[in-house]
Structures are given as structure tokens and as C-alpha cells.
């Protein structure tokens, strides 16, 4: 321990980032800037370019590299591995239902995986089974259907397990499942998550109301066509005294899909899905790692995930209609900003609601534009490589961003807003985190 | 920044059609002011005194040649791109400046060039220092000493930079070919024209009465007399998207520099960086994943949000084509519905809390 701390101090004087290895986009500061902090002068140091850790032939650098490597190998090699026979957990794969059971379940994994039936047997999905076997938590066996006792059931190797995947799709799903599990996420197949029934809305009324709303809306749009806006005589008949009026006249032409912005709208939109019977399931529900997770009452997932293989002929990137359907069936936590009406009704997001309340409307607008509304995650498999994409419902049609000039006529309306606006702009700039350029300053492991 | 003040003045109006903002004050208890107000109201108009002249040069380039009109379109909504400049028509000014015929230079290109030179200089200095540092390490100098040196070096760089800013020099460069630039009166000839994107031209003639080219003849010049729906689809969807964003107050410019269809600026390029890169798609489009990934990477790399703008045609294609042929553009564009999806790379490790 002591030698470690000494090492650390020494390294601090050289470069505090060397041992930090994370993925390419991690927000590491450049060593240049940490030096800048030392100098305490007010001069702003320009950010420097990437890579200052190419081999420079010095002993100092060699030493750093050696230390980092050693730390890594030590931590890998020192740990004792294998299972104590007493603690071994046996899981049996049942081919008939493509699942596995553990007769005497115990272990931490039970918090987030498996389902215990009345007899105290824990049932694992196939993904969980393979994942736990890969990790060495369970010892996998093949359950022979012809006999009750487990004694003659053959032990399975990891390769055997991989052979048991039914489809290529399932393999892909497992890869995503295992990847997220290893990162600590709680992942449950969307079909199996207990769904908290959303508050029932009076069905017939809503349906009728919604349909009517739709038709009146479309009607309104259609009756809007002959407005004199695009008529040759328009500018002879009308006078505009502010730019806002000109924009108002222009903006009604092109219709758009508005994102539901209140809880009520959301529920209505969901109901349409149920009614039309195109309620699409996602592949996985994902929760961020947390200690308080309960399998029975998991609450809404943090993310919902759809796995699709880029190279498979029966998967294509979803079209807009498909994406929209997905948005409708999203059950994950709502990240977007709902209007006040909603934030009051859902206690979970109350604090957020309060914080939002105090903000300047321009910042709120900026946030709505940048964050969007409902979202889901697409996990794209490409020959074993997984890339994640977040698709978020956006709504530019509901936001007007024109700058209100403080002209004489518009003074009452927007004049006072002018200085605020300037503030807003500044704080917006501050709000958006400026991700520092990718750091390639390279951990010694490479 | 002192640059900010003129910006507000230069770019006061977001659209080339100006509102009536010079109406006299209306005093409630003074009927004469009513009359005067009414008179001013009726007598004034939002229309331009004369429409901007455009022509088709060499096939499909929609260009504006008059210097004042070029500037007008740029200053009032940032329309078009000057062919010899980055976007604002500054070629003449830059040339005069290069030839030493003009006092001040404020052209954006100059600022950028200046910055690039500084950056280059900085990189050179840094490389030098890097060599020194390596040398020190070879000699076995303490790391803290090296850090010290580095600090000193940075300080000296900074001082140098501030000095440089005070003494900016302007060199006069004269090339032989420059003689051709002058006319008989020894005045410089303006070679530059402003080119409009087809959607911009459409917006300026269909939505706002700015160009002297009627919408239907513009349409005909763009796709010919007897187009099929496939011919007009691209233009129509792009226009509908353009109109959608423009009319909600965005300054929409071509996104070709970032591999997308449009860039959305708040107010305009001199005020903010573009925050969104828009890709316009038909609602039933489904591309190969690589297409999305590469576009999103490029746009994301420039710190912009990547938006897929799906355009859905609400009426049958034949009907849309008919509307186009009849020149009923308002009804045509109103039958395209916009839907937006934000596409963002998701990194699990960063979403774990």
C-alpha cells in the first residue's frame, strides 16, 4: 500500500492522467491545461493538440509505461480464480423451454436476474444463463429429459452454450445483453418486465375525443389553405408591423408532427397504439445500476433498447412510421421536459420541474430542442461490434426561435425581453457542455 | 467583443421583407395622431421598392449580380452564397484590401486567416519546445524543472501573442493578373455574384415577394416543363423542410460542409454557431446503417445535433404533381408533413450515472 501511494505522488508530478484509461471520448483534460492550472497566471492557455505520448526514447517515459503495465498485470494475475466446490451453483438447461433453472439458488445476481417459482427454484432466461456461465457464477449442465435426478446430466462448456442459441438474432441480443451487464446495467427482456399498468383513461371518450381532435385539426389545416398569405395581393392588403407577424403568417403553411408535451397527451398517444394493436415490444429494458432495484417492482426503465443487425436482410433501419410507433410504445422514464401540468402529476420528476420553473424561457426552449422528448436506443450489431444510437423525438414545429427586435412597435411585447435575451444567450453557451477534443494522450497500456 | 455592436445594426432584420417599424407614435388622446398614424399605415408598405433581379446563369445557377442586392440578401436573413467568398460577398473588399486600396479590413475571411496564422505559429513554437523538453529528459533533468520550463515557455508565448495583436501588418500584394480587374476609369470591376440555393430562391419568390422571378417560372426552370413526380420530389421535400425551419425563425443555410442538407442557425452565422444539422428524408426512407452513422459522425464531430427530418406526403403523388403543374404551390407544400427525430450516438459508459 505504501509503495503505491509513493508511486502515485511521483506520477502526479509528471502526469496525472497516465493511468486513466477510458474510452476514446472520456473527458480527460490535457496535461497542458493541468500545467496551466499550476501557473496561476490569468493568461488563457490555448488547448494543445492530441498525442504527446508517442515514444520519445527517454527512461522517464519507459518507466511510466512499465508501471502502468505492471499495475494492470498485477491486478489480473494476483486474484485467485475458480470456484469452491461447496459454493458451486449448478444450473440446468432445459431444452424444451429454452431456459435454465437453479435448484438451490443463492448469490447476488438474484437481485437483478432470474425468477423464483413456488418451489424455490430459480428460472433463468437463456441470456442470463449464458452470461452467468461465462462469468463463472454458475456451472452449466444440460438437463436430460429422461431422468429426474441430476447426477448424469452432462456438464456444458461455454462453446456448447453458444451452440444452443436458436437464431442469429438471439446471438446478437445476447452480445448486447452481456455487454450492458458487464458494464453494470440492469437488463431485463422487455417481454418479461412486469408492467405497471398505467392509469386507465376512460377509453371510449378518449378515443372519440382524440379522433375528433384529429379531424378538427386536419380540417383546420385544410381550411387554412386559402389564407391570403401566398396570394399575389397579400402585401397590398396587409401590413406587418413586426417581423414576428411576418413569421406568424409564414409558419402555418407546412404541417408537422408535434410531440406530446403533457402526461395526458402521452397517455392518449399510447392509447392509440393499444387501440390499433401495433404495440411493439423492445428487446431489452435497461436500468442504470442501483442498489434499490426490485425485480418485482422495477419501475419504469431508464432506457429501452432495440437490437438490430446491420447485415441481416430482414432488419432495416426503421422508417419514420416505425420509429413513431416505437415512440408510442416507449415505457422508459421520460427525459424530455414536460409542461408544468405533467411535472406536478408525477412526483418522481418534481424536483426537476421546480428547477425548470425558475429558468428563463429561452433556456427552457433550448433545452427542449436539444433534449427532445420520448426516446429509445438502437443497438446496431455489425459482425460482433455493437454501436448504440439514441433516437429521440424532436419537435421544431412547436418552437419559434426568431429574434425579437426591440423596434418601437414591438416594445411592449418584446422590448423588456431584450436584455434578458442577451443573458439567456450567455448562459446557454455555458450550459452546453463543451466537450473537450478527444483525448488521445495515451495511456501507457498501448 | 466590439464586433458585436455592428452586427446588431447590420443584421437588424431577419427577413428581406421589413416590418413597418417607423410608424409614428399613436397618442390615444390626440385624434390628429390617429389620422397621421392611419395615413402612415396606409401609405407605407412592406413591399420592396423594386424586386431583386435574379437570372439563371449557365444552366441552373440562380444568381444575383447587383452588389447592393447581394448585400441586401445577405444582411437580411443570410440568403445565398457569394461565389468568390466564403458566404458573404466580400471579394471586392478583400481585393481592394489586398491591393492596398482600402483602409480597414473587417472581412470574416481575414479574421479567420489571421487566426490560422497565429495557430500555425503556436504549433511551430510548441514543436520547438517539445524538442527542448525531450532534450532535458535525456539529460535527466527533474520533471518539476521541466514543468517549470514549460510554464515559462507558455507565458512567453502568451506575451508574444498579445504583442502580435497590437501590430497587425497589412501587406500589399499585387499580381500581374490584377491589372485585368480594373476598368477604363481605373475602378475595380466586381466579378462576384451571389448564388441562391433553389429552395432559397423558391422561398424568396413564393413565400416572400423579393425576387423578380415568379414562382412558376422558377419551378419550370428548375425541373423542366413536364416533370414526373420523381423529378419534383426532391425539390418539394427540401423546400417544405426549408420553409418549415425558416418560418419558425431559424436561419437555414446549406449543410454541405457538414455532409447534411441544412444547418440551422439562431439569428445567423455571425451570431452563433449552427446548432443543428438537418438531413431531409422521405418518411419511408430506410438507408443502410452506415449512411446514418457516417452522417451523424460528421455532424456530431462539429458539435451539432443531428436531426433526421422526415417529410411525409399526405396526398397521392399524382395529385401533388398536378398541384405543381397548376402552380398551386401553397397547397402543394402544405401537403408535406414534417416529423423530426434526433439521432445521437449513445455511449453506455457515459449514461451510467
Residues B253 and B307 in one domain: yes
Tell me how close the Cα of A14 comes to any Cα of chain B, in angstroms: 6
B273 noted as active-site residue:
yes
Residues B324 and B248 in one domain: yes
Residues of chain B in contact with residue A243, where contact means CB-CB under 8 angstroms, are 13-15, 18-19
Q: Which of B88, B111, B137 is the last residue of a domain?
A: B88
Whether this model's pTM surpasses 0.80: no
For testing contact with chain B, the best of A254, A310, A383 (most B CBs within 10 A): A254
Smallest Cβ distance to B122: which of A46, A238, A390?
A46
Q: What is the pLDDT of residues B337-350, one digit of tens each?
A: 999 999 999 999 88
Residues of chain A in contact with residue B26, where contact means CB-CB under 8 angstroms, are none
Q: Dihedral of CA A71/A76/A77/A79: which sign?
A: positive
Domain CATH code at residue B272: 3.40.1350.10
Q: Which of A164, A186, A216 is the last residue of a domain?
A: A164
Q: Which of A164, A183, A212 is the last residue of a domain?
A: A164
Query: In total, how many domains does chain A have?
Result: 2
**Of B12, B273, B328, B337, which residue is the catalytic one?**
B273
The answer, for B9 touching chain A at a CB cutoff of 8 Å, is no
Residues A155 and A277 in one domain: no
pLDDT confidence of residue B23:
76
Flag if B151 and A38 touch (Cβ within 8 Å): yes
Residues B34 and B134 in one domain: no
In a domain, A191, yes or no: no
Domain CATH code at residue A372: 3.40.1350
Residues B155 and B259 in one domain: no
Residues of chain A in contact with residue B289, where contact means CB-CB under 8 angstroms, are 310, 317, 380, 382
Flag if B334 and A253 touch (Cβ within 8 Å): yes
pLDDT confidence of residue A130:
95
Using alpha carbons, list the distances in angstroms from residue A85 to A82, A107, A120, A188, A264. 9, 15, 21, 29, 56
Flag if A396 and B240 touch (Cβ within 8 Å): no
pLDDT confidence of residue A202:
42
Q: What is the pLDDT along chain A (446 residues), one digit of tens a residue?
A: 444 444 444 444 444 343 333 334 444 444 444 444 454 444 454 454 444 566 777 888 788 778 878 877 877 777 666 667 778 889 999 998 999 999 888 888 888 898 888 888 999 999 999 999 998 889 999 988 877 777 778 889 999 999 999 999 999 999 999 999 999 999 999 888 776 554 444 444 444 445 455 555 555 554 544 445 666 666 766 778 788 888 888 888 888 998 887 777 777 777 766 555 555 688 999 999 988 888 888 888 999 999 989 988 878 899 999 998 888 888 887 765 555 443 333 334 444 444 445 677 888 888 888 888 889 999 999 988 999 999 999 999 888 888 775 443 333 333 333 333 344 344 434 443 433 333 333 333 33
In a domain, B200, yes or no: no
Contact B266, B248 (CB under 8 A): no
- Predicted-complex ipTM score: 0.77
**Of B239, B265, B310, B336, which residue is the catalytic one?**
B265
In a domain, B352, yes or no: no
Flag if A180 and B44 touch (Cβ within 8 Å): no
Smallest Cβ distance to B21: which of A35, A392, A407?
A407
Flag if A380 and B249 touch (Cβ within 8 Å): no
Residues of chain B in contact with residue A370, where contact means CB-CB under 8 angstroms, are 275, 305
pLDDT confidence of residue A423:
41
**What are the residue ranges in chain B where pLDDT is below 70?**
1-6, 100-108, 164-173
Please tell me the distance from the alpha carbon of residue B270 to that of residue B264, in angstroms, as a whole number: 13
In a domain, B210, yes or no: no
In a domain, A129, yes or no: yes
**Of B304, B310, B328, B336, which residue is the catalytic one?**
B304
Query: In total, how many domains does chain B have?
Result: 3
Please tell me the distance from the alpha carbon of residue B185 to that of residue B174, in angstroms, as a whole number: 19
B265 noted as active-site residue:
yes
pLDDT confidence of residue A259:
85
pLDDT confidence of residue A102:
92
Q: Which of A136, A164, A192 is the last residue of a domain?
A: A164
Q: Which of B47, B63, B88 is the last residue of a domain?
A: B88
> CB-based burial of residue A267 (10 Å sphere; 0-12 exposed, 13-18 middle, 19+ buried)?
middle
For testing contact with chain A, the best of B207, B214, B248, B337 (most A CBs within 10 A): B248
Residues of chain B in contact with residue A304, where contact means CB-CB under 8 angstroms, are none
Phi, psi of B69 (to 5 degrees): -70, -35
Smallest Cβ distance to A256: which of B276, B337, B343?
B337
B39 noted as active-site residue:
no
In a domain, A116, yes or no: yes
Minimal Cα distance from A43: which residue of B? Answer: B158
Flag if B330 and A13 touch (Cβ within 8 Å): no
| Boundaries of domain holding A320 | 263-337+360-393
pLDDT confidence of residue B292:
94
Residues B84 and B149 in one domain: no
Residues of chain A in contact with residue B338, where contact means CB-CB under 8 angstroms, are 254-257, 396-397
Characterize the bridge pairing of strands B81-82 and B336-345. unpaired
Residues B278 and B173 in one domain: no
| Boundaries of domain holding B154 | 90-188
Q: Which of B134, B157, B188 is the last residue of a domain?
A: B188
Residues A379 and A272 in one domain: yes
pLDDT confidence of residue A416:
37
In a domain, A155, yes or no: yes
In a domain, A117, yes or no: yes
Smallest Cβ distance to A257: which of B14, B303, B338?
B338
Q: Looking at chain B from residue 155 to 214, which residues have their Cβ under 8 Å from any Cβ of chain A?
A: 155, 158, 206-209
Residues of chain A in contact with residue B206, where contact means CB-CB under 8 angstroms, are 230
Residues of chain A in contact with residue B329, where contact means CB-CB under 8 angstroms, are 230
Flag if B345 and A387 touch (Cβ within 8 Å): yes
Amino acid at each position: 500500500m505504501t509503495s503505491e501511494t509513493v508511486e502515485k505522488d511521483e506520477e502526479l508530478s509528471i502526469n496525472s492522467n497516465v493511468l486513466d484509461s477510458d474510452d476514446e471520448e472520456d473527458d480527460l483534460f490535457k496535461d497542458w491545461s493541468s500545467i496551466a492550472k499550476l501557473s496561476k497566471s490569468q493568461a488563457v492557455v490555448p488547448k494543445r493538440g492530441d498525442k504527446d505520448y508517442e515514444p520519445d526514447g527517454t527512461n522517464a517515459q519507459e518507466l511510466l509505461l512499465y508501471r502502468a503495465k505492471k499495475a494492470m498485470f498485477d491486478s489480473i494475475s494476483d486474484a485467485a480464480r475458480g470456484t469452491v466446490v461447496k459454493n458451486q451453483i449448478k444450473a440446468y438447461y432445459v431444452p424444451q423451454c429454452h431456459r435454465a433453472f437453479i435448484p438451490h439458488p443463492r448469490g447476488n445476481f438474484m437481485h437483478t436476474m432470474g425468477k423464483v417459482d413456488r418451489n424455490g427454484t430459480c428460472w433463468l432466461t437463456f441470456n442470463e444463463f449464458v452470461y452467468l456461465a461465462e462469468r463463472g457464477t454458475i456451472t452449466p449442465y444440460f438437463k436430460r429429459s429422461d431422468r429426474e435426478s441430476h447426477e448424469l446430466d452432462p456438464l456444458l462448456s461455454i462453446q456448447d452454450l453458444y451452440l444452443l442459441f436458436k437464431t442469429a438474432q438471439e446471438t446478437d441480443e445476447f452480445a448486447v445483453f452481456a455487454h450492458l451487464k458487464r458494464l453494470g446495467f440492469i437488463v431485463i427482456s422487455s417481454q418479461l418486465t412486469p408492467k405497471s399498468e398505467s392509469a386507465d383513461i376512460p377509453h371510449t371518450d378518449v378515443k372519440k375525443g382524440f379522433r375528433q381532435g384529429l379531424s378538427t385539426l386536419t380540417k383546420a389545416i385544410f381550411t387554412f389553405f386559402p389564407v391570403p398569405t401566398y396570394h399575389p395581393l397579400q402585401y397590398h392588403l396587409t401590413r406587418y408591423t413586426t417581423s414576428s407577424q411576418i413569421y406568424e403568417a409564414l409558419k402555418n403553411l407546412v404541417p408537422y408532427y408535434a410531440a406530446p408535451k403533457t402526461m395526458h397527451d402521452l397517455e392518449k398517444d399510447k392509447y392509440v397504439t393499444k387501440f390499433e394493436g401495433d404495440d411493439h415490444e423492445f428487446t431489452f429494458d435497461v436500468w442504470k445500476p442501483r442498489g434499490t432495484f426490485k425485480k418485482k417492482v422495477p419501475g419504469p426503465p431508464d432506457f429501452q433498447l432495440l437490437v438490430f443487425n446491420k447485415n441481416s436482410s430482414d432488419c432495416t433501419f426503421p422508417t419514420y412510421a416505425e420509429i413513431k410507433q416505437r415512440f408510442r410504445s416507449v415505457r422508459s422514464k421520460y427525459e424530455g421536459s414536460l409542461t408544468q401540468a405533467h411535472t406536478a402529476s408525477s412526483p418522481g420528476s418534481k424536483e426537476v420541474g421546480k428547477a425548470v420553473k425558475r429558468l428563463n424561457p429561452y433556456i427552457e426552449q433550448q433545452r427542449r430542442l436539444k433534449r427532445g422528448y420520448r426516446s429509445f436506443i438502437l443497438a446496431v450489431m455489425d459482425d460482433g461490434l455493437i454501436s448504440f444510437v439514441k433516437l429521440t423525438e424532436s419537435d421544431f414545429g412547436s418552437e419559434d426561435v426568431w429574434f425579437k427586435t426591440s423596434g418601437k412597435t414591438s416594445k411592449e411585447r418584446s422590448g423588456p425581453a431584450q436584455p434578458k435575451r442577451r443573458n439567456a444567450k450567455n448562459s446557454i453557451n455555458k450550459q452546453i457542455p463543451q466537450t473537450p477534443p478527444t483525448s488521445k494522450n495515451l495511456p501507457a497500456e498501448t | 467583443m466590439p464586433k458585436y455592436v455592428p452586427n446588431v445594426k447590420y443584421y437588424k432584420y431577419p427577413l428581406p421583407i421589413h416590418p413597418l417599424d417607423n410608424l409614428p407614435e399613436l397618442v390615444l388622446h390626440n385624434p390628429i395622431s390617429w389620422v397621421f398614424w392611419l395615413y402612415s399605415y396606409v401609405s407605407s408598405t412592406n413591399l420592396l421598392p423594386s424586386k431583386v433581379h435574379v437570372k439563371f446563369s449557365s444552366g441552373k445557377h440562380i444568381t444575383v449580380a447587383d452588389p447592393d442586392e447581394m448585400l441586401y440578401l445577405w444582411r437580411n436573413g443570410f440568403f445565398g452564397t457569394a461565389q468568390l467568398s466564403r458566404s458573404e460577398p466580400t471579394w471586392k473588399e478583400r481585393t481592394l484590401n489586398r491591393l492596398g486600396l482600402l483602409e480597414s479590413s473587417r472581412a470574416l475571411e481575414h479574421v479567420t486567416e489571421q487566426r490560422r496564422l497565429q495557430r500555425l505559429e503556436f504549433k511551430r513554437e510548441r514543436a520547438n519546445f517539445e524538442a527542448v523538453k525531450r532534450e532535458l529528459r535525456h539529460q535527466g533533468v527533474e520533471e518539476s524543472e521541466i514543468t517549470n520550463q514549460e510554464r515559462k515557455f507558455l507565458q512567453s508565448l502568451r506575451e508574444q501573442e498579445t504583442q502580435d495583436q497590437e501590430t497587425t501588418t497589412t501587406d500589399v500584394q499585387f499580381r500581374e493578373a490584377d491589372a485585368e480587374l480594373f476598368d477604363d476609369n481605373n475602378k475595380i470591376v466586381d466579378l462576384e455574384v451571389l448564388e441562391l440555393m433553389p429552395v432559397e430562391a423558391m422561398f424568396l419568390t413564393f413565400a416572400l415577394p423579393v425576387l423578380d422571378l415568379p414562382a412558376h417560372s422558377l419551378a419550370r426552370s428548375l425541373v423542366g416543363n413536364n416533370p414526373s413526380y420523381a423529378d419534383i420530389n426532391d425539390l418539394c421535400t427540401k423546400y417544405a423542410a426549408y420553409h418549415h425551419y425558416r418560418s419558425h425563425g431559424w436561419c437555414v443555410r446549406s449543410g454541405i460542409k457538414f455532409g447534411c442538407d441544412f444547418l440551422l442557425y439562431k439569428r445567423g452565422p455571425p451570431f452563433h454557431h449552427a446548432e443543428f444539422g438537418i438531413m431531409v428524408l422521405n418518411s419511408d426512407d430506410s438507408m443502410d446503417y452506415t449512411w446514418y452513422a457516417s452522417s451523424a459522425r460528421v455532424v456530431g464531430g462539429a458539435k451539432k445535433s443531428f436531426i433526421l427530418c422526415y417529410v411525409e406526403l399526405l396526398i397521392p403523388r399524382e395529385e401533388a404533381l398536378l398541384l405543381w403543374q397548376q402552380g398551386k404551390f401553397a397547397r402543394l407544400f402544405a401537403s408535406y408533413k414534417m416529423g423530426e427525430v434526433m439521432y445521437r450516438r449513445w455511449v453506455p459508459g457515459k449514461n451510467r450515472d
